[in-house]
Amino acid sequence: MGLSVPAVAVLLVALLCLDPHGRVGSAPICAHGPSGCHVPSLADLFDRVIQHSARMHSLSNDLHSEFEQYFLPSKNHIGKTYRKCHTSNILTPNGKENAQKLAREELTEVILKLLMAWRDPLFQLHQSMAHQQDFNNFSSNKALEMGDMAHELRKGVEKVAEKMRVLGMLGNSVTGLSAAEAMLPLSDSREAMSDYELLYCFRRDSNKVQNYLKILKCRIVPEHDC
């Protein structure tokens, strides 16, 4: 028996409301079916991106630890980098107090610049690990997952910025970095960096992103867990 027109309409609304991939965008939440759908609040969006950034940083920690354990037997190399991170020319606030002094627009832009800067290097890291026999598929897939997570996180932060603009909490200077992407002041050392150095730098930057998001949330919605 075919579905009636009202039944089909209800089914379509339900499918549109679902977010099966657990992404960090602004898809409606349908806790009690189509009639219960609602657009996430700004606090909800912040919670999503912060949780996502925590998972991404945890994954970078795991992969970095695996690399040290299996591929750097000499403790003299552990924790040592040989050149600057390719994101070193992106001006980032040092410490919580300095981050709190930045304007909302500036802090949001720093977060987006860091995430954008890792798009290609994380893909290159995955490619490098996938072609080396020393790395198992599990570790290589972690590198690929980090790239996907960074991409999804950037989209989520853009949704947060969009929501803040709609609510009048953010100026129009932050526009998803569509124009600023070409202006990223990246270091020329990226191509020469080893896999270990890339992991070290991404772990550092992913920690910065997570902390900056927490600081930004507390400035925007201080009544929530601050």
Q: What is the pLDDT of residues 61-86, one digit of tens each?
A: 998 888 777 666 555 554 554 568 88
186 located within any domain: no
Dihedral of CA 44/91/61/156: which sign? positive
- Whole-angstrom distance, CA of residue 152 vs CA of residue 144: 13
22 located within any domain: no
155 located within any domain: yes
pLDDT confidence of residue 83: 60
Residue type, 131: H
The three-class DSSP label of residue 29 is strand
209 located within any domain: yes
pLDDT confidence of residue 1: 46
50 located within any domain: yes
**CA neighbor of 194 nearest in space, from 77, 116, 112, 111:** 77
pLDDT confidence of residue 40: 87
Per-residue tokens: 78: 């552990």
Q: Is residue 215 within 8 Å of 116, Cβ to Cβ?
A: no
Number of structural domains in the chain: 1
200 located within any domain: yes
- 67: domain CATH number is 1.20.1250.10
122 located within any domain: yes
Question: How many other CB atoms are found less than 10 A from the CB of residue 225?
Answer: 12
Give φ, ψ of 75 to 5 degrees.
-65, -15
pLDDT confidence of residue 39: 81
Q: Which residues of the chain have pLDDT under 70?
A: 1-38, 70-83, 132-138, 173-193, 224-226
The DSSP output letter for 94 is -
pLDDT confidence of residue 225: 63
Look up the pTM and report it.
0.75
pLDDT confidence of residue 187: 47
144 located within any domain: yes
Write out the residue range of the structural domain in which residue 142 sits.
Answer: 40-72+85-181+193-220
